[in-house]
Amino acid sequence: MIVHGGAGGRAAPADRSERRRGLLAAATRGGEILRAGGAAIDAVIAAVTVLEDHPFFNAGYGSLLTTEGWVEMDAAVMTAERRGRSRTAYPEIRAGGVILISRVRNPIRLARAVMDLTPHLLMAGAGAERIARRAGIELCRPNELISPHARARWLANRAAPDARAASPSETKAAGGGDKHGTVGAVARDRHRNLAAATSTGGVPGKLPGRIGDSAIIGAGLFASARGAASATGAGEAILRAGLCRGAVEACGRGTPHAAAERAIRMLDGAEAGVILIDAKGRIGFAHSAQAMEIATFDPFVGTRHLTPAAMTAIAE
Please identify every residue annotated as catalytic. 182
Please report whether residue 106 would count as binding ligand ASP according to CB under 6 A. no
CB of 292 to ligand ASP, least distance (A): 10
Choose the binding region for ligand ASP from 123-131, 149-157, 178-186, 241-249 (rule: CB under 6 A): 178-186
CB-nearer residue toward ligand ASP: 192 or 240: 240
* Residues between 8 and 67 with contacts to ligand ASP, criterion CB under 6 A: 58
Can you say whether residue 45 is alpha, beta or left, with left for phi > 0 and alpha for psi between -120 and 50 degrees? Answer: alpha
Question: Among 102, 147, 171, 214, which residue interacts with ligand ASP (rule: CB under 6 A)?
Answer: 214
CB-nearer residue toward ligand ASP: 34 or 289: 289
Please report whether residue 107 would count as binding ligand ASP according to CB under 6 A. no
Binding-residue total with ligand ASP (CB under 6 A):
15
Choose the binding region for ligand ASP from 47-55, 93-101, 146-154, 199-207 (rule: CB under 6 A): 199-207
**Alpha-carbon gap, residue 140 to 70, rounded angstroms:** 13
Choose the binding region for ligand ASP from 28-36, 137-145, 232-240, 245-253 (rule: CB under 6 A): 232-240
For 76-105, give one letter per residue: b (16+ CB within 10 A) or e: bbbbbbbeeeeeeeebeebbbbbbbbbbbb
The DSSP bridge pattern shows strands 227-233 and 92-101 to be: unpaired
Ranked by CB distance to ligand ASP, the top (closest) residue is 235
Question: Among 5, 30, 177, 212, which residue interacts with ligand ASP (rule: CB under 6 A)?
Answer: 212
Is residue 24 within 8 Å of 79, Cβ to Cβ? no
Angle between helix axes 125-135 and 107-117 (nearest 10 degrees) is 80
CB burial class (10 A; 0-12, 13-18, 19+) of residue 41? buried
CB-nearer residue toward ligand ASP: 27 or 289: 289
Is residue 79 within 8 Å of 40, Cβ to Cβ? yes
Question: Among 180, 188, 226, 305, which residue interacts with ligand ASP (rule: CB under 6 A)?
Answer: 180
CB-nearer residue toward ligand ASP: 180 or 226: 180
CB of 231 to ligand ASP, least distance (A): 7
Choose the binding region for ligand ASP from 28-36, 39-47, 186-194, 196-204 (rule: CB under 6 A): 196-204
Question: Among 199, 232, 288, 303, which residue interacts with ligand ASP (rule: CB under 6 A)?
Answer: 232
CB of 305 to ligand ASP, least distance (A): 19
Binding interface with ligand ASP (CB under 6 A): 6, 58, 180-182, 200, 202-203, 212-214, 232-233, 235, 238
